[in-house]
Amino acid sequence: MRQGGASWAWAAGAAALATAFLAVARRPRSRRNVAAGVACLGLGVLLVSGMWQVQRIACCWAELRAARIPRDSSELKGALAAAVAEARRLAAQGATAAPLPQEAAFETLARVVRSGTRTPGVERGVAVLEPDGAPFAWAGRHRLVPVRDTAELRTVITPFYVALEARRQTPGGGSVVGSVLLDAAPAVLDRSRALSAQFEATHDIALRFYGPGLAPRAEVVFDYCLRAAVDHPTKCDPGGTLFSVAPVTPSEAVAYGAARQAATGRARGALALVLLLLFLAAPAGGWRWLVTLAATGSAVLAFRDSVPLGDWFSPTTSARPLPLGLTASAGTLTAGSIIALVAAATLWRRGLQRRAWNVGAAGLLALAAPYVVRYFGRGIEPPAGGVGFGLWLGWEVAVAAAAMALVLVAAALVRGPAEPRRASWVPAAACAWAVGAAVVGLWLWYPNGAWPEWYTFVWLPALVGVLTPAPRAWAGLGIATVAGTAAALITWGAALEGRLALADRDAMGLDTATDVRAVSLLERMGQAPPAPPPETPGELYAWWRASPLAADSYPASLAVWHRAGEPTAEIRLAGVDLPPSLVAAFVRSPETARGPRVERLDRSPGRHYLLVAPLAGGEVLTVGVGPRTRLIPAARVARFLEGGTGLQPPYQIVLSPPAPPPRPSARVIWTRTGWSVRGERRIGGPPGGVRHVHVLVDLRQPWGLVVRGTLVVGIDIALLAACWLASLAVAGQWHPRVPPPFALLRTSY
């Protein structure tokens, strides 16, 4: 795979260099051609140099790794000294706020934090404590709660954070604590403002902090001294070590991925500039179409693996394939639909003669449009965490763009050779009909079937109405309104059906049937335990986050145990029904010495699984997971580490206490009541008992849905207008004009 990526990059670089030569050599030569050629040359150099750096890591990582370790530690010592000086400054200047009233003390401490320049960008905070240790005033951010202490300077090391604290006593017997964040565990989401994260971003060297005397016998370990030894000035006096830090170089795979990602990021920006300049330099017509297609394909490939747009281009949110073997996603469907819209706008402006086959083809396209919208809309598969407005809007725009492309092609076939000068009442009536049909559809939607089959034909009058020849502004407004309204309704229904599917899977997973995937992944984790064994909850969490079970959002509880059954490190990420006494009994079992095993336990709710795996040092690793259900809430530490999603829960689920029969039911029964959908199912419980599973999915109120629909229809209108301008630019009939103030500045002295 690495060689394939390298070959692709070398080929792309060669193609960019060839394009640069052709652009510059083209006659007559213009400034646009020269600019496009220079940009292509720069892109080729970026691709070749980036892949050369990546290939160096692949072939010569041992030498590069040795060169990265800071032998003299001058940069590291300077960064740590600046952190110590900043903590002392915060404590010293914060002491001036202690005698002030509380409101004035808050303002003073805020100014103290803002004025720090010794460690720019590093997270810091200051707090004034009363004599009993209660906080009086504070500013900045505190990952750890400041406590009373007599040490003037100390480090606080927890499984997730390393903070440096400096103290000053106040006249009233209290204290002022200035803190600087030295390190945050890799599992913490917002660790970018830690000193170690900034040092790693600058020098590509990670830092691992240890308490005094706890650092391993590594090749390079630096001790930060408060007092140097008398007989050895280069060593710390016993008891004078504040902390120890070991530089850690990344693995070859991590360094390879980071270098490739950096090269890809630089190439994306250069490619966007190259395509823009090539578009401006290319002749109108076919050459600009070629650049447009290349730009669309490049955008899909470039943003498919982008973090901000990952869900939009992810094929996991769709079950509908595209033509030519392409995998559907909101991003790919939008890109293809935009190209179709630009082509349809070009066809509309040509003004075809109205013939029988034109009218017949337009009728077929109008009939196909509702089914196309329904085809792509019903294929939406929302993530398990719920659908945010961004993802919902992305799918609505994708479906609306596909429908607008079909309807605009149909309108172009029946428009005639001349564009009408006046608009009739038919497009306005078609828009009103579409809005009414969408509002009625909110009440007609029902679970296990969505809308009746006859409801599709309700949209035909609106589609036929927008095919009536009209001026371009009225035609575009009518097409965007009808297609956007239908797409908004279909996307709303698809998101609801996806939420129902998630709730149905949750309720069906509460049975005692074996979860084959969970068992398989736990067995695989037992065959490849972490090396070296995790010693802290932070290391346990970092190892768990890299596992497929964490990617599938399984509720879990992890621990490392002594062979005698005492935990040394533990982190509970969810409220799984696995008490410590029960897990300790499995750890002490004689079967533990025989190798890793997965225990199946019928707990509440559903079946739980426990991996018991002996480690190389004699400890035992346990990983307990439960069924993927919202009945098992995430622990507070998990919510803190993973951050809030900001999404409305897709459904609510409640499990009743055991009761006598009736017998368990095989499926969930869904019924709509007003603006909510309720699901009921009976599952087996303790011997002689049955539990009822109650699921509730909120449909939201109709007024809010109408407001959201109006917003997205406006976005669809803007998209169609942008595609129309793009078609004019491709045909060479429209050129962006420089605003008069900028033109004046450009020509002035």
Pick the residue with more confidence: 474 or 116?
474
Residue 707 token pair: 């407001």
What mean pLDDT do residues 218-231 have? 68
pLDDT at 7: 44
Report whether pLDDT(292) > 90.
no
CA pair distance 75, 72, nearest whole angstrom: 8
- Which range is least confidently modeled, 126-130, 158-162, 251-255? 251-255
Q: Label residue 246 by pLDDT band (50, 70, 90).
A: confident
Report whether pLDDT(679) > 60.
yes
What mean pLDDT do residues 170-176 have? 88
Provide, rounded to the nearest whole percent, the portion of the chain with pLDDT above 90.
15
To which residue do tokens 């100014």 refer?
111
CB 143 within 8 A of CB 184: yes
pLDDT at 138: 93
pLDDT at 559: 93
Report whether pLDDT(417) > 70.
yes
Residue type for 680, please?
E
229 half-sphere exposure, CB direction, 13 A CA radius: 10
In terms of C-beta density within 10 A (0-12 exposed, 13-18 middle, 19 or more buried), how is residue 684 classed?
Answer: middle
CA pair distance 623, 326, nearest whole angstrom: 39
Pick the residue with more confidence: 346 or 296?
346
Long-range contacts at 543-548 (CB < 8 A, ≥ 24 apart): 544/571, 544/573, 544/623, 545/187, 547/521, 548/521
Report whether pLDDT(720) > 80.
yes
What mean pLDDT do residues 89-105 have? 91
Q: Label residue 597 by pLDDT band (50, 70, 90).
A: very high
Query: In whole angstroms, how large is the CA radius of gyration of the chain?
Result: 32
pLDDT tens across 534-566, in order? Answer: 888 878 888 888 888 888 889 999 999 987 788
Pick the residue with more confidence: 257 or 350?
350
What mean pLDDT do residues 69-87 have? 80
Q: Label residue 6 by pLDDT band (50, 70, 90).
A: very low
- Which range is least confidently modeled, 104-113, 194-203, 292-301, 407-416? 292-301
Q: Label residue 180 by pLDDT band (50, 70, 90).
A: very high
**For the chain, how far is it from start to end, CA to CA, in angstroms?**
55
What mean pLDDT do residues 182-190 have? 81
pLDDT at 137: 93
- What is the dihedral sign for C-alpha 92, 96, 98, 102? negative
What mean pLDDT do residues 125-148 have? 90
Pick the residue with more confidence: 378 or 629?
629
Instruction: Report the candidate in 404, 401, 398 with the shortest Cα–Cα distance to residue 379.
Output: 398
User: H or E element: which one contains 301?
Assistant: helix 286-303
Which DSSP string corresponds to 38-53? Answer: HHHHHHHHHHHHHHHH
- What is the dihedral sign for C-alpha 397, 400, 402, 406? negative
pTM of the complete model: 0.70
Mean pLDDT of the chain: 80
Report whether pLDDT(748) > 70.
no
Long-range contacts at 123-126 (CB < 8 A, ≥ 24 apart): 123/180, 123/181, 123/193, 123/194, 124/86, 124/87, 124/90, 124/178, 124/179, 124/180, 124/181, 125/90, 125/178, 125/179, 126/90, 126/91, 126/93, 126/94, 126/176, 126/177, 126/178, 126/179
Phi/psi of residue 659, nearest 5 degrees: -145, 165
Report whether pLDDT(694) > 70.
yes
Q: Label residue 30 by pLDDT band (50, 70, 90).
A: low
pLDDT at 593: 87
